[in-house]
A and B are shown apart, each in its own frame.
Chain A
Amino acid sequence: METNKKFVVSYAPHCHNGDRISKKSYNMMLAALPAVFFGILQYGVAALSVICLCVSTAMAWELLFNRIMKQPPTIGDGNAALTGLILGMLMPPVVPWWVIFTMTFVTILLGKVVYGGMGGNPFNPVVLGYAITRLSWGVFLDVDASLAPGYIFDFNMANPIVAIKSAVWTGAGADAAAAFPPQVLLLGQHCASIGTMFGLGLIVGGLYLIVRGYLRWELCLSYLAGVIVTAALFSAFGPEGKYAGAAFHVLTGFTLIAAFFFMAEDSSTPVNLIPMLIYGIGAGVLTVLIRNIGAYPDGVIYAFLLMNILNPLLDNIRPKALGKVVENE
Chain B
Amino acid sequence: MDKNKERLLALCLMAALFLVGAVCYAAYSQEEPNRILLDFGGGQGKVMFGHYEHFEDFDVACIDCHHTAEDELSEMQKCGDCHLKSMPKGDPCVARKDAFHNQCIGCHEDIGMDLACGDCHVK
Contact = CB atoms under 8 A, between A and B. Distances in A.
A274 interface: no
B116 A170 contact: yes
B6 interface: yes
Given A53-B21, A152-B52, A166-B45, 5 more contacts: A46-B24, A56-B14, A56-B15, A147-B35, A172-B118
Contact of B14 (A60, A170, A297): A60
B6 A56 contact: no
A234 B18 CA distance: 45
B21 A148 contact: no
Contacts of B116: 170
B78 to A, nearest CB: 13
Interface in A55-94: 55-57, 59-60, 63, 73, 75-78, 81, 94
Given A53-B18, A148-B33, A149-B33, A97 B25 contact: yes
B37 A148 contact: yes
The 3 A-B residue pairs whose C-beta atoms are closest, nearest first, are: A52-B21, A49-B24, A76-B6
A163 interface: yes
Given A81-B10, A81-B13, A170-B118, A56 B18 contact: yes
A139 B9 CA distance: 36
Interface string B2-37: 010011011101110110111111011011111111
A78 B23 CA distance: 23
Given A48-B24, A149-B30, A150-B32, A59 B14 contact: yes
Contacts of B3: 76
Contacts of A81: 10, 13-14
B104 interface: no
B122 A148 contact: no
Max chain B CB contacts within 10 Å: which of A97, A157, A166, A170? A166
Given A144-B46, A149-B34, A75 B123 contact: no
A148 B14 CA distance: 30
A158 interface: yes
Nearest to B1: A22
A49 B25 contact: yes
A60 B15 CA distance: 9
A184 interface: no
Interface in A208-247: none
Interface string A255-288: 0000000000000000000000000000000000
B28 A60 contact: no
Interface in A36-58: 44-46, 48-53, 55-57
Interface string A124-152: 00000000000000010010110111111
23 contacts: A48-B20, A49-B20, A50-B21, A52-B17, A52-B20, A55-B13, A56-B17, A56-B21, A57-B18, A59-B14, A76-B3, A76-B7, A77-B6, A81-B13, A144-B122, A148-B35, A148-B37, A150-B31, A150-B33, A152-B34, A162-B123, A166-B123, A170-B117
A148 B52 CA distance: 11
A165 B6 contact: no
Contact of A150 (B13, B34, B39): B34
Contacts of A172: 118
A157 B118 CA distance: 16
A21 to B, nearest CB: 10
A139 B28 contact: no
A167 interface: yes
A169 interface: yes
Max chain A CB contacts within 10 Å: which of B10, B13, B48, B116? B10
Contact of A151 (B15, B18, B34): B34
